[in-house]
Amino acid sequence: MALGSRGTVFVGSHTGNIFAIVDRNQDHQADRVFTLATGLNRASGVAFREGALYVAEIHRVLRFDQIEDHLEKPPSPVVINGSLPRDRWHGWKFIAFGPDGLLYVPVGAPCNVCEREDPYAAILQMRPDGSNVQVFARGVRNTVGFDWHPTRKELWFTDNGRDMLGDDVPPDELNRVTQKGLHFGFPYCHAGEIPDPEFGRQRNCDEFTVPAQKLGPHVAAIGMRFYTGTMFPEEYHNQIFIAEHGSWNRSEPLGYRVMLVRLDASGTRAVKYEPFAEGWLQQGRAWGRPADVLVMPDGALLVSDDAADTIYRISYNGSSQQSAINNSQEREDHSMPIANR
């Protein structure tokens, strides 16, 4: 998800459709859902900058100019970069503009675990016109969510750990990038301390940057955002919300929730990892899968669910924390879905 300058919520999808959600009367329900594009190549990544919507397919990045003026009849997109790999395994992308004005685009590893040269298993940065592509971070197996600390301007990102090492190994990761050029271990070392059984002998774990926080094993931690709103209590300000999509091959399913990572006062160290909203997993079966989170201008938190095809709004009424889903499968009044598609 991405937020336009006029409050439009833009949504990408694996189906190749791009949507724009408009709430004109500000009742926190979608008044209309526009379909901006169809048939794209797993166009899950969206970003907004200076009136333009940027869309990431697996192999290229598009730009729709002055999009909020043309929701009814979107303009033809401009291809700003068409040279990305076409691999579908970990090929879908989350994209975002950094405080430096550059567009950040990940390229996942095209495998469960393997060695590949740049640009695989990396986060790239490029100018808004798609030029001057450079590797910003390496050793990143598959990140589908990142954000910058509101004051320190450092990039934090989620990363999905490899499969087939058992239910509890390795954990997913939340990483902090303190400088350009860091390597986060893949495929040689997982979670900062677990040598890969196939590639671990080639490099030592102490060569790589360790995670800021180890997350649940195989929870598929993807979308993440720092909370920059003022609706929630102060204890949530500048903390991290993470959408955990949920495990696919773990004997006991794990994830299917929104987690909160609390940082210390300096904003440099994770000190707690705890559930914020849960209930999508009931008696070992999931009826929903959180995919992304987005902070709205009023401070509410949106949560997209790509299994129920719904976006939820989590708000706070000033007296108690309100979660998106209660312990049954019924949605509470304050978290009615703002859009279904």
Q: Which of 176, 200, 218 is the last residue of a domain?
A: 218
Helix then strand then coil, % of the chain, to nearest 5:
5, 40, 60
Could you tell me if 125 and 181 lie in one domain? yes
Q: Which of 190, 218, 246 is the last residue of a domain?
A: 218
Could you tell me if 174 and 188 lie in one domain? yes
- Higher-confidence residue of 320 and 29: namely 29
- Higher-confidence residue of 337 and 179: namely 179
What whole-number percentage of the chain has pLDDT above 70?
93
Supply the range of the domain harboring residue 259: 221-341
Which one-letter DSSP state was computed for residue 90? Answer: T
Give me the pLDDT at residue 319, please. 58
Give me the pLDDT at residue 318, please. 80
Number of domains comprising the chain: 3
Give me the pLDDT at residue 211, please. 98
> Which residue is it, tokens 């300000």?
237
CA distance 275 to 318: 20
Rounded to the nearest 5°, which phi and psi values hold at 205?
-60, -30
Could you tell me if 131 and 195 lie in one domain? yes
Could you tell me if 124 and 53 lie in one domain? no
CA distance 206 to 84: 31
90 in a structural domain: no
Give me the pLDDT at residue 339, please. 59
Could you tell me if 285 and 202 lie in one domain? no
Identify residue 203 by its one-letter amino acid code. R
Strand partners, 137: 123
Could you tell me if 70 and 117 lie in one domain? no
For 39-48, 256-265, 328-337, which range has the lowest pLDDT when averaged over its residues?
Answer: 328-337
Q: Which of 84, 109, 141 is the last residue of a domain?
A: 84
pLDDT of 328 > 50? The answer is no
* Full-model pTM: 0.93
Task: Write the pLDDT tens digit of every residue in 136-155.
Answer: 999 999 999 999 999 999 99
Could you tell me if 289 and 311 lie in one domain? yes
- Is there a contact between 168 and 156 (Cβ–Cβ < 8 Å)? no
Rounded to the nearest 5°, which phi and psi values hold at 155?
-80, 135
Could you tell me if 294 and 206 lie in one domain? no
Mean predicted lDDT score pLDDT of the chain? 94
Give me the pLDDT at residue 78, please. 98
Task: Write the pLDDT tens digit of every residue in 198-229.
Answer: 999 999 999 999 999 999 999 999 999 999 99
Q: What's the whole-number mean pLDDT along residues 297-307?
A: 97
Task: Write the pLDDT tens digit of every residue in 44-64.
Answer: 999 999 999 999 999 999 999
pLDDT-based confidence at residue 326 (cuts at 50, 70, 90): very low
162 in a structural domain: yes
Task: Write the pLDDT tens digit of every residue in 239-284.
Answer: 999 999 999 999 999 999 999 999 999 999 999 999 999 999 999 9
